[in-house]
Amino acid sequence: MHLSFFALRHFSYALNTLLKESTFINAFSFSKEEIIFSFLSPNNLEIFLSAHLVNKSCYFQVHDQYNRPKRNFLYQLEAANGGIVESVIQSNFDRSFYLQLKTGVKLLFKMHGGFSNVLLIDNEEDVLEIFRKEFTLDSDLKLGSLSKYFDWELVIQSAAASYKELRGIMPLFDEHCLRFMECNSFLQMNPADRRSFISKYFIESPSPLYLKTDSAKSYLSIFPEAELTRYEAITEAYTRLARLVLPSYQMDVQKRDIRGQLDEKLKKVKKQLFSAQKHLENAESFIGYENTGHIIMANMHAMPKSISTIELLDFYTGKMTAIKLDKNLSPQENAEKYYRKSKALKQDIPNLKNQVVQLTTEQSKLENMIAQFNTIEQIKELKAFAVQNGLQKLKEDEPIFPFRKMIVDDFEVWIGKNASNNDLLTFGYAHKNDLWMHAKDVSGSHVIIKNQSGKIIMKPTIEKAASIAAFYSKSKNQTLAAVTYTQRKFVVKAKGRNPGAVHLLSEQTILVKPQLFS
- Look up residue 140 and give its DSSP letter: G
Minimum mean pLDDT among 103-107, 246-250, 317-321: which range? 246-250
How much of the chain is in helix, strand and coil states, percent to nearest 5?
Answer: 40, 20, 35
Partners of 75 in beta bridges: 28
CA 344 to CA 340: how far, in whole Å?
A: 6
Stated pTM of the model: 0.58
- Look up residue 258 and give its DSSP letter: H
How remote is the C-alpha of 238 from its chain's centroid? 24
Please say whether the beta carbons of 3 and 53 come within 8 A.
Answer: no
Q: Which pLDDT tens digit goes with each residue over 276-318?
A: 888 888 777 666 788 888 988 999 888 888 899 999 988 888 8
For 74-121, the DSSP string reads EEE-GGGTTPBEEEEEEPTTSSEEEEEETTS-EEEEE--GGG-EEEEE
Percent of the chain with pLDDT over 70: 95
CA end-to-end distance (rounded Å), the chain: 50
Q: Which pLDDT tens digit goes with each residue over 186-235?
A: 899 999 999 999 988 888 766 778 777 765 578 788 888 777 888 888 88
CA distances 239 to 52, 61, 102, Å, are 11, 4, 27
CA 177 to CA 221: how far, in whole Å?
A: 9
CA 256 to CA 254: how far, in whole Å?
A: 5
